Structure 1
Amino acid sequence: MTDLIALMADLEEYLGDPWDAGALMPYPRILAADEDQRYPHEFVDVLASWGLYDWIVPAANGGKAVNVEDGFNLYRLVGRRDPTSATAMVLTSLSYMPVWIAGSPEQRQHFADAIRGGRKLAWGLSERRHGSDVLANETTARRTDGGWLLNGEKWTIGNATVACTVMVHARTSDKGGPGGYSIFAVEKDCVPPGQLAHLPDEPLHGLRGLDMSGVRLTDCFVPDSALVGRAGQGLEIALKSSQLARIAIASIAMACVDTALRSTLDFAGRRVIFGGTVAEVPYSRRQLAESFAELLIADALTTGAVRSLQLAPAQASVWSSVVKYFVPTLLEETLARLTTVLGARYYLRGHPRHGIFQKVLRDFAISNFADGNTVVNLKNIALQLDGLLAGAVGQDPGEVARARA
């Protein structure tokens, strides 16, 4: 079993003091990259050199991923420094999930080697006109000699331009429906000229340096070997992948609040007003304590959901939707409380010690709508309530603990 605490301590030490400008991943350079809306190549490369990508690649394919919880917490640690860098790397992890779930042994190994070699992946699911309604997607794939021809656009796709491979969710049946979609691994290096074009990068409110663009496919040929899983299995694979995505987003949300709380505590312990520090004011002390308690609640719920992916995968659809709805909703209120304690400093982008607060406040917003918004996740929970209530039974918590051990 991985000594996760020691592993996280090693990564923290490797990255150095976040306030030391000479460290590998310090706040001053992170904020500068954010101001310039610059993709965090330098930080992603630093993290890849440490071996972070190994923790999203299965051990069977040369990586170190055994427990999903390990990778989740490592990315959460990175997110405390820079949610943009963490999200950029999580996007590659989520884009690998279709292959991990349904790919052939050859595909799993091929893309595992690509990731560990520093190549980025993108998950081409959403479209401009349809958003979360993936059964309305219009991108098509039709059979041709030796492969498939893809036509359509995928829009607001994280890593779409910087990625070497885009996993494309496309309609393979004219009638559509649950069995009418498939997933294809489109490797850009192998696409003939003129068949794939990048859509413009969309400026973002938070995660300013993230590549959020898209691709346009025009009679884009991919060989039969590009099909991930079976033809018609696309929706099933996408839904299973989304379960991890919903929980992974929670790591970014908690990381943002963690950094916001640390910044506010730093202020509250230093700032003297009315004859004492802000931390000595009863109201402020209560706000800080409640914020920490809410972060612990989110952590406890999310830990259970992460473990469910392996211990109780049949329940992962419910767990992931509960986390995706509850954690951002709860922690949004936590952030609002912290802004009250921090006061005007939370609004200052260039403050030497609290400029990071306004960044994580903006970056946090993505957790509310990425990979299914609040309404989508509440609907998913509602659709399963009858079955959950009918089969509700008590469970020995010791059983879960023993399974984890």
Structure 2
Amino acid sequence: MKNVLLTGMKSFYLFLVEQRSKLPAEKNDKIIFLLSFPSTSRWVLSELYKKYGSRLVVCYTENSRELAANYQKKGCLIYGIDSFRELLSSIPLMKGASTILCDNYFAFLGGTMFESSTKVIQIWHAGGAVKTFGLEANYAKNSTKKDQDRYQQVYDRLTHYVVASDQMTTIFKKSYHVTNAEFLPFGYLPADRYFDEAWLKQAKQKFQERFGNKKSLLYVPTYRENENENPIDFSRLAAVLGDEWQLFAKAHPHDPALQQKFEKHPAVITDFKGLTLQEMLPSIDCLITDYSSVPFEYTLANKEGKLLFFCYDLEEYQKTVGIQDGFFDALPEALAVTLDELLEKAANMQAVDLDRFDQTWNQYNKGNAMKQLMNWMEENEA
């Protein structure tokens, strides 16, 4: 009964959005950015603002309020789209704009009736994918036909995708059942920074000033909705690595309980002293993660770095979410399923050949993705 009620409410929500979007709207010169991943979209927004100034409109989810507020101070319009009232207020602007950029899935798009000339561009929030998503995720496959149809309505609104590889083109086509959209092989926008020598030098200098010259290991697990007890043992990891190493850890922003656990451990540094994760990566000698998208950036940020995947719940995760076909088959030496395996691999710290990984996932990353996108937007502006 609860699921039926929830489905009905979602359908009514989209109906109201659709009715609002059917009303006439004047064309405008705004560039609309749908924001839900501040950590990955921060740099992209700053580059867009440099070019478009107050033409930029930020429609944000609640977790992105602080970043959006910065652009309000600069003179940009902002709308909190978790508020239905503000969402409805923003729809005429969206409908009248020629370009809309999305960093994620936004449910309201499924009910929005755009002009045929409107370009709705999915820039995404990762350069590659370890886990399945969209209609390929197991939780979506197990959802009702009505829910799946509603997801597809959103996917069908997307007219363009910015991708870093042919592999991601294939994954989007499969995950979103893409038929008519166009793929723009420009690269993953935030990855441009890793080709900027001045930015890299500054990031490394900041890291050295704050944390010294010890070898550095960073543990960055992905978010799990049903988190079992994470078996990572920093005491044993520190003992295996020795005094020449320092350990950093960062939980997903949506997992404060795990972050608190990390913060309580005396062997772990959780305060990055003002550095973003992206600024940390060039100085990290070994990255340990699982199903996160961080590795796709790490292999660009630090060509000499070591990469390990600690997937203690691999079998369960494969059942509930899903892993991209053959992902770990290409990196068998980097995968640890048990803590003992992880400690053994950390102790030996052998380099993993990441050339094939980069060729697969960072195919189009050349440092000019943002420039290519903005040139394309200018050429195709209605």
The TM-score by the shorter chain falls in which range?
Answer: under 0.3
The structure that is helix-richer by fraction is 1
The TM-score with structure 1 as length reference comes to 0.25
Q: TM-score if structure 2 supplies the norm length?
A: 0.26
Higher relative contact order (CA 8 A, sep 6+): 2
